[in-house]
């Protein structure tokens, strides 16, 4: 399996996921956001900041997928971002602030983090 091809496809796919998540965070009363289990009455400032951060990661993934050489430090940053997103939702669901389906909806973040780790480990210098 070609590490580079898999990584580029994962980056492209997570770009779309991030943009959907950013839209849902910006407009939590939509059917998609409600399906994800987001609270519909979040204050505008929190919606804007969360949607902006998730959208910014989406743009970074799109940019990375188009680079001739994928930047390894940015991938490490992306791994922590994906794990933080998934972990935050798990903790909030365990605390009772989000429904369990929110964990299911953010499981792709965990899967993308694992793909990023797989790519990073397979592209170490000297390999």
Per residue in 21-65, pLDDT (tens digit) is 999 999 999 999 999 999 998 999 999 999 999 999 999 999 999
Measured CA distances, 109 to 57, 59, 67, 125 (Å): 12, 16, 22, 26
Cβ-Cβ contacts under 8 Å for 31 (sequence gap 6 or more): none
pLDDT beyond 90 at 101? yes
Question: For 109-123, what is each residue's pLDDT tens digit?
Answer: 999 999 999 999 987
User: What is the pTM assigned to this prediction?
Assistant: 0.91
pLDDT beyond 50 at 13? yes
């Amino acid at each position: 399996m070609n590490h580079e091809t898999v990584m580029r496809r994962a980056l492209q796919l997570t770009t779309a996921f991030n943009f959907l998540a950013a839209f849902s965070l910006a407009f939590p009363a939509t059917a998609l956001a409600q399906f994800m289990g987001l609270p519909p009455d979040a204050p505008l400032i929190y919606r804007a900041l969360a949607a902006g951060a998730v959208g910014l990661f989406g743009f970074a993934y799109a940019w990375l997928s188009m680079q001739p050489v994928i930047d390894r430090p940015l991938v490490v940053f992306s791994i922590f971002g994906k794990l933080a997103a998934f972990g935050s939702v798990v903790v909030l669901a365990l605390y009772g602030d989000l429904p369990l389906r929110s964990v299911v909806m953010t499981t792709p973040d965990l899967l993308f983090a694992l793909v990023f780790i797989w790519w990073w480990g397979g592209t170490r210098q000297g390999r």
